Amino acid sequence: MSAAGRLVGLGVRGFRRTPVAWQNPLAVVGIAVAGAWLLVALFAPVIAPHDPLAPTAALYQAPSWAHPFGTDDVGRDVLSRVLWGARVSIPLALLLVGLAYTIGCTLGGLAGYLGGWVDELIMRGADLFFAVPQILLAMAVVGALGPGLFHAVLAVVVVSWPGPARVVRGLVRTTMQSDFVAVARLVGAPTSRALTVEVLPNVAGPVTVLAALDMGNAILLLSALSFLGLGARPPDAEWGSMVSTGAQHFESWWMGMFPGLAIVSVVLAFNLIGDSLRDTFDPTTTVTPLGK
Amino acid sequence: MSLTTHSGSSTSPRSADSESLGAAFARRRSQHPLIFFVARRLVALVFLCLGVTFMAFVLTHLVPADVAAANLGVHQGSNPVAVRLYNERYGLDKPLPVQYEVYLAHLLHGDLGVSEQSGRPVGDDLAAAIPATAELAITSMILALPIGITLGVVAALRRNRLTDQVLRVLSLAGMSTPQFWLALVALYFFFYLLGWVPGSGRLDAAYPAPPHVTGLFTIDSLLAGQLDIFANAVHHLVLPAAVLAAFNIGLFTRFTRSAVLEVLKNDYVRTARAKGLPEWIIIPRHVLRAAGPPVLTIVGLAFGNVMTGTVLVENIFSWPGIGQYSYASATTLDLPSIVGVMLFFAIVYIVLNLSVDILHGVIDPRLQVT
């Protein structure tokens, strides 16, 4: 078989391996919307019609053809600010989910693999974080460090690692006890091989699902902190902080409405992806493809 | 979950005469599993509270913030005598472990310390704020549970049809909408444009608070027979509670759907259908009874969501509860209040999960406490 044929063959196999995610139309919508926002984040300077930070028109203009989302209390174009806001929320959410999952998976993996007092220490530590609402802890962290976007990101990382840690620990433990790992060890596979070949693939799927769902949660939590004045501050073009400014100008509803809709659309997109991925990966819910 | 189906009992096959202390303990435990289960969880509660106070201490001392300057203000903060007196009064001149020890000693006597923002004991502040939040949280759960469960059952029965897909989008939208934004949109429409609901607070200024019994205005006003105050309290309660319920309606819908789908796969449902029972008998009698316990397990989680929501929603609706209080505490680095609020949430979390576990065992006798 030619190299190209092999590539196509691989492509087809890869395609078949994730059938439900593709045959579920809502997952495709989620991927499309999330992809669109990713493009907006990349190309905001090109596609935004106006400067997000400089006044470009009269104050408090209702939505019109010139300014589809209206203008705000300083005369800035709300559409441009919403588009630029994607450059704040999406990269930061990726960053903090990456950080939280690195920490969480490492600690959870160690707890599950080593067991004993390490397990006990890490998981009881994680319990503490589950007992207190995330936003309260995050507020306390930002309160201690001082308000600011970077501190808000740190705070969300600090409160987000226990979720993946708990899941990874459970998965590692059940996989390690499974027969196929026992067989692999029995035929002489070293620990490192048993971990990478047998355990890792069984952990990776569910963790991907969780990470997609947590992207949405991360954006929500980060924008909530900014709304409370603990994260991004005006004049930054950040969605939560824009909603907060909009809250002080009820008669100009467009100031807070559109940044909020931006949050809803991007979070919903990630949740749609995560929800259909869960249907695919979760062995306990059998999903019949093609809507049967 | 600490409840599992019939797992190995902890008694060991030993003869009675050579019974060791451990085995005696195990035998006792197998005789009274529920009592031991509750006792163990209560011990865990104590340790968790200890952990929470420790965590709050570490958090609020991550950065050497000048608490005295923050609380004394610019004028007094530059006065060295005032700063020294302030630090001595709250033990802030001592090393951190000593401060922690002092705090724990006070806590053992039920003293949560004095709030730096209100100047009142934290216990009093909490006692004043908790009923307001409890009323809001309970109302929102009363709204979310029946709606979410009904929608979840409908979605499961119409699986993969249009209704299911619409409900999937709606329920996920409920879980994807920032609560602070939803609160503002709701206020914009129902208060600003339509004027259907009062904007903020628990009662109109014209009404006095009902005589204090539970602290929940709806219940207290009914107890006192003040129907006009009851109506007003409900009027104030509806919108913030509905906003808080949105996320959980989505959560209950998703979760009920998958729980019901699990049950529908069972043979006894097929049998019930095969013998011609109508759906309106099968669903409540066969399906809901089996799907109930799994749904119950997320009530604890849902309550946590409500508590998170209160921080944002209470600030927007000027609702004098724990959410507003904790926001004020966190932003002013008011350590005693922060620890107090965290302790409160930790206790609610544990007690709630404990009750769910016990209830779970009562509803589903196949589950055994281990």
Q: Residue A243 belongs to a domain with what CATH number?
A: 1.10.3720.10
Q: How far is CA B366 from the centre of its chain?
A: 28
Q: Do A25 and B165 touch (CB under 8 A)?
A: yes
Tell me how far apart the alpha carbons of residues A108 and A166 are, in angstroms, rounded to a whole number: 6
Kind plus residue range of the DSSP H or E element containing A127: helix A116-131
DSSP structural state of residue B288: I
Residue A71, SS3? strand
Which chain A residues are Cβ-neighbours of B61 within 8 angstroms? 144
CB B107 within 8 A of CB B53: yes
Q: For B367, list phi and psi in degrees, rounded to 5.
A: -80, 135
Write the pLDDT tens digit of every residue in B18-50: 567 777 777 777 777 777 778 877 888 888 888
Structure tokens at A210: 């969780």
Q: Write the CB contacts of A29 (distance below 8 Å, at least 6 apart in sequence).
A: A269, A272
A27 part of a folded domain: yes
A residues 12-51 near B, CB within 8 Å?
25-26
CB B353 within 8 A of CB B138: no
Amino acid at B17: D
Residue ranges per structural domain of chain B: 122-352
pLDDT of residue A4: 38
Q: Do A271 and B184 touch (CB under 8 A)?
A: no
Which chain B residues are Cβ-neighbours of A242 within 8 angstroms? none
Half-sphere exposure of A171 (CA within 13 A, CB side): 26
Question: What architecture is the B122-352 domain classified under in CATH?
Answer: Orthogonal Bundle (1.10)
Write the pLDDT tens digit of every residue in B70-84: 666 556 666 777 777
Which chain B residues are Cβ-neighbours of A224 within 8 angstroms? 178-180, 312
Query: Which range of residues forms the domain containing residue A15?
Result: 3-47+63-285
Q: Do B172 and A272 touch (CB under 8 A)?
A: yes
**What value does the mean pLDDT take over residues A244-254?**
89
Which chain B residues are Cβ-neighbours of A26 within 8 angstroms? 165, 168-169
A140 at B interface, C-beta within 8 A: yes
DSSP structural state of residue B79: -
Which is nearest to A61 in space by CA: A47, A75, A48, A49?
A75
Which chain A residues are Cβ-neighbours of B169 within 8 angstroms? 26, 268, 272
Burial of A164 (0-12, 13-18, 19+ CB in 10 A): buried
A56 part of a folded domain: no
Which chain A residues are Cβ-neighbours of B346 within 8 angstroms? 128, 131-132
CA distance B63 to chain A (A): 6
B residues 297-356 near A, CB within 8 Å?
304, 307-308, 311-312, 315-316, 326-327, 330-333, 338, 341-342, 345-346, 349-350
Tell me how far apart the alpha carbons of residues A229 and B192 are, in angstroms, rounded to a whole number: 24
Structure tokens at B106: 């006070």
DSSP structural state of residue A229: T
Range among A21-35, A143-157, B75-89 rated most confident: A143-157
Tell me how far apart the alpha carbons of residues A263 and B47 are, in angstroms, rounded to a whole number: 38
CB B301 within 8 A of CB B22: no
Tell me how far apart the alpha carbons of residues A225 and A153 are, in angstroms, rounded to a whole number: 9
Tell me how far apart the alpha carbons of residues B11 and B157 are, in angstroms, rounded to a whole number: 44
Q: Do A133 and B307 touch (CB under 8 A)?
A: yes
Is the pLDDT at A169 greater than 80? The verdict is yes
- Looking at A67-76, A175-184, B175-184, which range is the least confident one? A175-184
Residue B318, SS3? coil
pLDDT of residue B92: 67
Q: For B368, list phi and psi in degrees, rounded to 5.
A: -125, 145
Residue in A124, A132, A230 closest to B346 by CB: A132
Tell me how far apart the alpha carbons of residues B351 and B223 are, in angstroms, rounded to a whole number: 27
Nearest residue on chain A to B180, judged by CA atoms? A224
CA distance A77 to chain B (A): 20
Write the pLDDT tens digit of every residue in A199-238: 788 788 888 888 888 899 999 999 999 999 898 887 888 9
A292 part of a folded domain: no
Range among A34-43, A50-59, A283-292, B207-216 rated most confident: A34-43
Which chain B residues are Cβ-neighbours of A124 within 8 angstroms? 47, 51
Neighbours of A281 (CB within 10 A): 17
Question: How far apart, in Å, do the first and last CA atoms of chain B sit?
Answer: 10
Q: For B9, list phi and psi in degrees, rounded to 5.
A: -75, 155
CB B162 within 8 A of CB B280: no
Which is nearest to B297 in space by CA: B357, B237, B241?
B357
Burial of B162 (0-12, 13-18, 19+ CB in 10 A): exposed
Tell me how far apart the alpha carbons of residues B82 and B76 are, in angstroms, rounded to a whole number: 6
pLDDT of residue A65: 87
Q: Are strands B3-5 and B367-369 parallel, antiparallel or unpaired?
A: antiparallel
Amino acid at A184: A
CA distance B335 to chain A (A): 9
Structure tokens at A31: 């991927």
Following DSSP, what letter does each residue of A164-220 receive, concatenated? Answer: HHHHHHHHHHHHHTSHHHHHHHHTT--HHHIIIIIIHHHHHHHHHHHHHHHHHHHHH
pLDDT range class, residue A285, cuts 50, 70, 90 = very low
What is the value of pTM for the model shown? Answer: 0.83
Structure tokens at A265: 């659309």
Is the pLDDT at A290 greater than 60? The verdict is no
In the predicted model, residues of chain B with pLDDT beneath 50 are 1-16, 369-370
pLDDT range class, residue A281, cuts 50, 70, 90 = low
Tell me how far apart the alpha carbons of residues A86 and A89 are, in angstroms, rounded to a whole number: 5
Q: ipTM > 0.90?
A: no
A167 part of a folded domain: yes
Structure tokens at B111: 């003293």
Which chain B residues are Cβ-neighbours of A267 within 8 angstroms? 176-178
Is the pLDDT at A6 greater than 90? The verdict is no
Tell me how far apart the alpha carbons of residues B1 and A38 are, in angstroms, rounded to a whole number: 38
Cα B131–Cα B132–Cα B133 angle in degrees, nearest 5? 90
A246 part of a folded domain: yes
Q: How far is CA B185 from the centre of its chain?
A: 25
Structure tokens at B301: 């989680």
Residue in A131, A260, A292 closest to B52 by CB: A131
CA B216 to each of CA A191, B47, B60, B235: distance values in angstroms, whole numbers, following the listed order: 59, 31, 32, 14
Residue in B258, B307, B326 closest to A285 by CB: B258
Dihedral Cα A228, A233, A235, A238, nearest 10 deg: -70
Number of domains observed in the structure of chain A:
1
Q: Where does chain B show beta strands of DSSP type E?
A: 3-5, 367-369
CB A21 within 8 A of CB A276: yes
Kind plus residue range of the DSSP H or E element containing B119: none
CB B160 within 8 A of CB A292: yes
CB B241 within 8 A of CB B139: yes
**What value does the mean pLDDT take over residues A43-69?**
87
Kind plus residue range of the DSSP H or E element containing B144: helix B122-157
CB A254 within 8 A of CB A78: yes
Provide the H-helix boundaries in B265-334: 267-274, 279-282, 289-296, 299-317, 322-331
A160 part of a folded domain: yes
Structure tokens at A251: 């008669």
Tell me how far apart the alpha carbons of residues A123 and B59 are, in angstroms, rounded to a whole number: 19
Site of tokens 């588009």:
A83
